[in-house]
Structure 1
Amino acid sequence: MADLREVHARLGQSLWLDNLSRTLIHDGILARYIAEDGVSGVTSNPSIFQKAIHESPYYQEDLACPADSAERLYEQMVKVDLQMACDLLQPTHAASQGDDGWVSWEESPRLAMDEAATVVEAERLRGIVQRNNLLIKVPATPAGIAALRTLIGRGISVNVTLMFGLQHVREVFAAYQEGLAAWVDGGGDPKRVKAVASLFLSRVDTLVDQQLEKIGNEAALRLRGKAAVAVAKKAYAIYQETFHGQGFSRLKAAGGRPQYLLWASTSTKDPAYSDLLYVEPLMGPETINTLPDATLGKLRDHGHLVAQLGEGLDAAEKTLADLAAEGIDLNGQVAPQLQEEGLAAFSAAFEAMLDEVEKRRA
């Protein structure tokens, strides 16, 4: 059994839990993860809350509360979950001087293409929870990236989600720096601001593997299961160039934080691959890996806690070149398609959750 507290203490990576429900809080599960595994953050999304409200017995009383709509009742319920999770992680947040100990709440997928509405909603949701360690999740759509710039410029901390390619990484990093510069130049305290960039992994391999199998030649088939890790390693190189280079030096000197990469969608979908494919090769400093409960358990059970993220960049770049040679367009086709599919999945889960809330409160 691995002592997962070593991941941060020795390797410099934060482990966050990709799950949140009242059951996790009331039954003491999240508190144990924090104390025993060093879990130092929480991510959530519409799918997670839909599952929580459907399965947990702890929402029954809240479902009887008055509300103007199913969406407002949902907000009343999950506000409590978010506040309790933020409070559990507040000691981590304080000890890390705001670098860790964050809880993420995703905006309604209905707003993904509306920059102005995304900004207004982020401010509203932050006001509902009233915790200084809350991250508002916005998607890396063009509207979401523009909203990121505005929100950081107003001192609002953000988790940018649904990133699938290197172009997303570059655009998000640029928008964050522009927003942070506006905040600092306007007299804002950069230490109050945190942003992470969530790069989704397993879905990349799922789609790319399908395309490689259609191509079917030996060279293509050898590339199966390699795209996502290669993208992540290259993204980390871009991170290092961006936030440890001259371009960020002024903001860094003022106290600005780099925008850490967060590895998301880290449960392996193909049983032929290692169940820690998106965990072990991507351990390294100044990063976050958000894990579902099952993947966290597998890492604890048989994970090898070795920093590998900074290794193999040449091999990763060769993999990306080989994929391009086989006609796999990661930035122009794969990433946009996966983002569109991700938004559709979150939208479906969000609407299903609201339907369930409506039926159960009637």
Structure 2
Amino acid sequence: MTDTLERLADEGVAPWLDDLSRERLAGGWLSRLVSQQGVVGITSNPTIFDRAIGSGPHYDAQIADLARRGVGVAEAARLMTAYDVRWACDILRGVHETSGGVDGRVSIEVDPRLAHDTGATLAEARGLWWLVDRPNLFVKIPATREGLGAISAALAEGISVNVTLIFSLDRYDQVIGAFLDGMEEAHTAGRDLSSIASVASFFVSRVDTETDNRLDKLGSSQAQALRGRAALANARLAYEHFERARAGDRWQALEAAGMRPQRPLWASTGVKDPSFDDTRYVAGLVAPDVVNTMPEATLRAVEDHGEITGDTVHSTYAESQQILDDLDVAGVSYHDVVTTLEDEGVRKFADSWSDLFRTLEKELRAAGTHGPSG
């Protein structure tokens, strides 16, 4: 592990990677990141898989077999992504065991087009949990209103869940409630709570992108002074909500029964604005018991020149709340920003899933089939 990532881990931050492809699996890339650089988890999404499957020959043999069997696009997507995630789970199994089941996790996402259908999301989560069949899997479920019930139900059945696409503090509170509901049901059913894990993926950089676009349109000096401050403030306040929930009676009772904490996971930590430091969403969100999942470019930047100076969250709560208040005064509605981002996030992930289907349909045709589109 590099010195910077080691300091990050010493502060309680688990460095995960937001990327996965069969080419890198086969070439030993992930194994090296785990053994040499201290990466202890992987997240994936439809965009990552679309990019991976659409480039290079590493999927050709499986696509040819699927084509010969007449497998449709939807099922082909499940089988191919599950194959990669299962492989990554096996690589990270040692981390999972040595960390006592805390890390060594790999995430696979339910079809985001189901994000507003509770029953279908739960059915897909069950199917993916069965298909990958690894104890260190996370099934990613979006934190939509309809997704909350699926999150509780999946956890109650013993399925470990990565709750994704969280932008607002109110929604995060609802996610924590859904987590506790599910764990209480699991406990009532006699399940081993220590075998069930969850993280809550709070998206970061997109908050600055959306907020700063609105501030730039306002153009005032007050607005310009707030550029680049919303995302860190929002995430830091989310950590305060995590601490508050963890100190509550429901959480404490479940922890006494063996429940693991649902850790906050900082997602979307790649910096979009080139005027910002490229490690700001890592160095600025250091606190105990969190995960930071980084694109490879961000991971390399942190290794190369990241400055980890200790906890950068606990002393910021009052300042962070003031930033959100000042945004409202300046004319940028926090509620509208986070609502827009949730709707846009679901739509973008669904579009990425459709792009993946189109890529696979093209590949299956080229392999000699005109299977159904799913």
TM-score by length of 1: 0.97
**How many angstroms apart in 1 are the aligned matches of 2:86 and 2:51?**
19
C-alpha offsets along residues 8-56 of structure 1, whole Å, 9 cap, x if unaligned?
A: 5411110111001001111111111111221111000000000010123
Q: Residue in 2 aligned with 1:304? A: 307
In the TM superposition, 1:163-312 aligns within 5 A as: 163-307=166-310, 308-312=312-316
Q: Residue in 2 aligned with 1:57? A: 57
The sequence identity of aligned pairs, in percent, is: 39
Q: 1:327 aligns with which of 331, 344, 351?
A: 331
Whether contact under 8 Å (1:138, 1:148) holds in the other structure is: yes
Tell me how far 1:7 sits from its aligned partner.
4.0
In the TM superposition, 1:17-28 aligns within 5 A as: 17-28=17-28
Q: Residue in 2 aligned with 1:316? A: 320
* Greater shift in the superposed pair: 53-62 or 258-267: 53-62
Q: Residue in 2 aligned with 1:46? A: 46
Q: 1:107 aligns with which of 107, 110, 114?
A: 110
Whether contact under 8 Å (2:47, 2:349) holds in the other structure is: yes
Whether contact under 8 Å (1:4, 1:37) holds in the other structure is: no
Could you say if the C-alpha distance between residues 3 and 50 of structure 1 is closer, same or farther in structure 2, counting changes exceeding 3 Å? same
Matched, 1:73 2:96: no
Tell me how far 1:227 sits from its aligned partner.
0.2
**How many angstroms apart in 2 are the aligned matches of 1:305 and 1:236?**
18
Q: Residue in 2 aligned with 1:35? A: 35
Could you say if the C-alpha distance between residues 81 and 67 of structure 1 is closer, same or farther in structure 2, counting changes exceeding 3 Å? farther
Matched, 1:353 2:319: no
**How many angstroms apart in 2 are the aligned matches of 1:131 and 1:117?**
22
In the TM superposition, 1:144-159 aligns within 5 A as: 144-159=147-162
- Secondary structure in 1 aligned to 2:54? helix
Give 1:3's aligned amino acid.
D
Whether contact under 8 Å (1:67, 1:73) holds in the other structure is: no
Tell me how far 1:327 sits from its aligned partner.
3.0
Give 2:338's aligned amino acid.
A
- Where structure 2 has 5 or more consecutive residues not aligned to the other structure, the ranges are 366-374
**How many angstroms apart in 2 are the aligned matches of 1:7 and 1:166?**
28
**How many angstroms apart in 2 are the aligned matches of 1:87 and 1:343?**
29
Matched, 1:129 2:96: no
**How many angstroms apart in 2 are the aligned matches of 1:7 and 1:262?**
18
- Where structure 1 has 5 or more consecutive residues not aligned to the other structure, the ranges are none
Could you say if the C-alpha distance between residues 131 and 281 of structure 1 is closer, same or farther in structure 2, counting changes exceeding 3 Å? same
- Secondary structure in 1 aligned to 2:272? coil
**How many angstroms apart in 2 are the aligned matches of 1:9 and 1:204?**
25
CA RMSD of aligned residues (A): 1.4
C-alpha offsets along residues 191-237 of structure 1, whole Å, 9 cap, x if unaligned?
A: 01111111111111111011112222211210000000000110001
Give 2:236's aligned amino acid.
K
Whether contact under 8 Å (2:204, 2:266) holds in the other structure is: yes
Tell me how far 1:139 sits from its aligned partner.
0.5
C-alpha offsets along residues 311-333 of structure 1, whole Å, 9 cap, x if unaligned?
A: 32221121111112223222x31
Whether contact under 8 Å (2:166, 2:172) holds in the other structure is: yes
- Secondary structure in 2 aligned to 1:58? coil
Matched, 1:94 2:97: yes
Whether contact under 8 Å (1:21, 1:56) holds in the other structure is: no
Whether contact under 8 Å (1:45, 1:105) holds in the other structure is: yes
Tell me how far 1:179 sits from its aligned partner.
0.9
C-alpha offsets along residues 278-325 of structure 1, whole Å, 9 cap, x if unaligned?
A: 110101210000001111000000011222122322211211111122
Give 1:54's aligned amino acid.
G
**How many angstroms apart in 1 are the aligned matches of 2:273 and 2:258?**
42
Could you say if the C-alpha distance between residues 9 and 280 of structure 1 is closer, same or farther in structure 2, counting changes exceeding 3 Å? closer
Whether contact under 8 Å (1:2, 1:302) holds in the other structure is: no
**How many angstroms apart in 1 are the aligned matches of 2:134 and 2:326?**
46
Tell me how far 1:135 sits from its aligned partner.
0.6
TM-score by length of 2: 0.94
**How many angstroms apart in 1 are the aligned matches of 2:23 and 2:184?**
41
